[in-house]
Amino acid sequence: MSTETRSASTELKGSIELTAAMILSGTLGIFVVESGASPFNVVFFRCLFGAVALGLYCLVRGFFKNHGFTPKKVGLAALGGVFIVFNWAFLFESYESTSITVATVVYHTQPFYVMLLGAVLFRDKITATKLGWLVVAFAGLVLVAGVSLSDFQDGDKSGYLAGLGLALLAAVFYALSTVITKRVTGVKPHLVALIQVVLGIPLLAPFAAFGEMGGMGADWGWLIGLGLIHTCLMYVLMYSSYQKLPTAKIAVLAFVYPAVAMLCDWAVYGHSITLLQALGIPLIVGASLGVNLGWTFGPRRAAAEPAADKPAAGAADKAADSASSSAPLPSGARTTAGTTDAADKITIGESR
């Protein structure tokens, strides 16, 4: 088998893995709603069952050997976990006040909060192009939200507005986890995720209403599924796919998740959106891809001619290396510098 054939086969396998993971992500809302449990109870048991399954997977794969953790890295992973587990709770709460569709689309404004937090906390430069995409995303958010100024004075809309606020807060918490966990380098992403779900157990215990769990019967299956399917299995598929795929394909396939979530919300619960709200979705999707893939609004400037005393090929190689090292990963994917294994270069603050 030639190198090109092997590469194409590997990329195809990665595409299948990531598509499967995003399809699973899209069904998460159904598991949350059908369980009938309160959002904090759902997240608590997702962490519990997810920790057991993911811990066993890491044990079987031998990830605990030469794990690469230091006290600082453990602390950063744990701090990121605080934001991740509360991000889940706020997102699940927003399902009840809005819908799975609206909450999911609003939640996908995460990349822009990551960008803004990077500028505030680490003085990352926000270019005019990125600012332009931020404006586009905000316009899409306004359309998807489907609210006007008069709605803020309407008491009947208070629950819906609160749900939108929770979805936005969940996105901000996800962004905070992203910028924190990005500093955890040289560690298997599975182990970072394991620390976060293990932390969620004692962290959410005071908020969980265990008295409400009696008589759930078969509904326990939905909660177990969230831990085994939407945490362990989905993590494994995503981490495996990121080793095999270029950034551009990851960015595009990531939007299978909201598409499937919208389809499930319509098929199972009959929730649909208005034409005006539908117009906002491509704005958010396009703006997110624009930021992640470095799209510009106008033609790119022509590349500078290589210096006369340097070979053109060398200049081209240098430019390619620079582009690959600065290319941003899509929402949910975070580079971890200082590792040699491609799998170690990706960590997920699993938001779904």
Q: What is the pLDDT of residues 127-185, one digit of tens each?
A: 889 899 999 998 999 899 887 666 666 666 778 899 999 999 999 999 999 889 888 88
Q: What pLDDT is attached to residue 263? A: 95
Determine whether 132 is exposed, middle or buried from the number of CB atoms within 10 Å of its CB (0-12, 13-18, 19+): middle
pLDDT over threshold 60, residue 80: yes
Q: Which of 85, 90, 92, 88 is nearest to 37 (CA)?
A: 92
Is the residue at 305 inside a domain?
no
For 289-326, write each residue's pLDDT tens digit.
888 888 888 666 654 545 544 444 444 343 333 333 33
Is the residue at 225 inside a domain?
yes
Q: Find the distance separating the first CA and the last CA of the chain, reported in whole Å.
A: 38
Is the residue at 347 inside a domain?
no
Is the residue at 83 inside a domain?
yes
The amino acid at 186: G
Residue 315 near residue 235 (C-beta atoms within 8 A): no
Domain that holds residue 109: 8-210+218-296+330-340
Q: What pLDDT is attached to residue 297? A: 82
Q: What pLDDT is attached to residue 327? A: 30
Is the residue at 136 inside a domain?
yes
User: CA distances (Å), 90 to each of 30, 42, 164, 183, 340, in order?
Assistant: 16, 11, 10, 24, 36
Q: What pLDDT is attached to residue 118? A: 85
Is the residue at 168 inside a domain?
yes
Angstrom distance (rounded) from CA 64 to CA 139: 46
In eight-state DSSP terms, residue 332 is: T
Residue 191 near residue 69 (C-beta atoms within 8 A): yes
- How many domains, the chain? 1
The model carries a pTM of: 0.81
Is the residue at 1 inside a domain?
no
| Paired tokens of 82 | 């605080």
DSSP helix/strand/coil, 335: strand
Is the residue at 302 inside a domain?
no
Q: What pLDDT is attached to residue 2? A: 59
| 126 vs 312, more confident | 126
